[in-house]
Amino acid sequence: MARGGNYRDRAVFLREAPGVVDKYGNEGDAPAEFLRLWADLRETPGREKLIAGRLEDKVTGTLRIRSGAKARSILASDTVSVRGATWSITAGPAQVSRKGDVLEFLIERGGAL
């Protein structure tokens, strides 16, 4: 079982919500908070590559959370805000433990500069 001390990062999962009105009165899709919980973010070192003449600097990592009904409904189209940055979910959720009490996601942030 995952110990409570491992979950030190506050994660806010965001999902596109239709019909949101911004401060200028425009209606459209906007990310809205879907789920907030404690998580364990493990960043991998950043890497830079030259792709199609552009420098890309991406940071990848894994995010572990405790499993629950709402946590299992997280989609790859959702985003997550952790440590002041917004991350895209690239894969997951994957069950980490035999008991199924921990889920892991592959996440990334950054891109073309």
Positions of the chain with pLDDT under 50: 113
- What pLDDT is stored for residue 52 in this prediction? 58
- What pLDDT is stored for residue 97 in this prediction? 78
Q: Give the model confidence (pLDDT) of 17-28 as tens digits.
A: 777 676 777 776
- What pLDDT is stored for residue 37 in this prediction? 94
Rounded to two decimals, the pTM is 0.76
- What pLDDT is stored for residue 41 in this prediction? 95
- What pLDDT is stored for residue 51 in this prediction? 59
Contact 63, 71 (CB under 8 A): no
Which CATH number fits the domain that encloses residue 106?
A: 2.40.10.270
Owning domain of residue 24 = 4-112
Q: Give the model confidence (pLDDT) of 55-74 as tens digits.
A: 667 888 999 999 999 999 99
Cα(34)–Cα(21) distance, integer angstroms: 17
The DSSP code sequence of 99-113 is TS-EEEEEEEEEEE-
Q: Report the candidate in 82, 79, 100 with the shortest Cα–Cα distance to residue 90.
A: 79
Number of domains comprising the chain: 1
| Burial of 96 per CB tally in 10 Å (0-12, 13-18, 19+) | middle
Note the helical H segments in the chain: none
Cα(46)–Cα(34) distance, integer angstroms: 28
Count the neighbouring beta carbons within 10 Å of the beta carbon of residue 24.
5
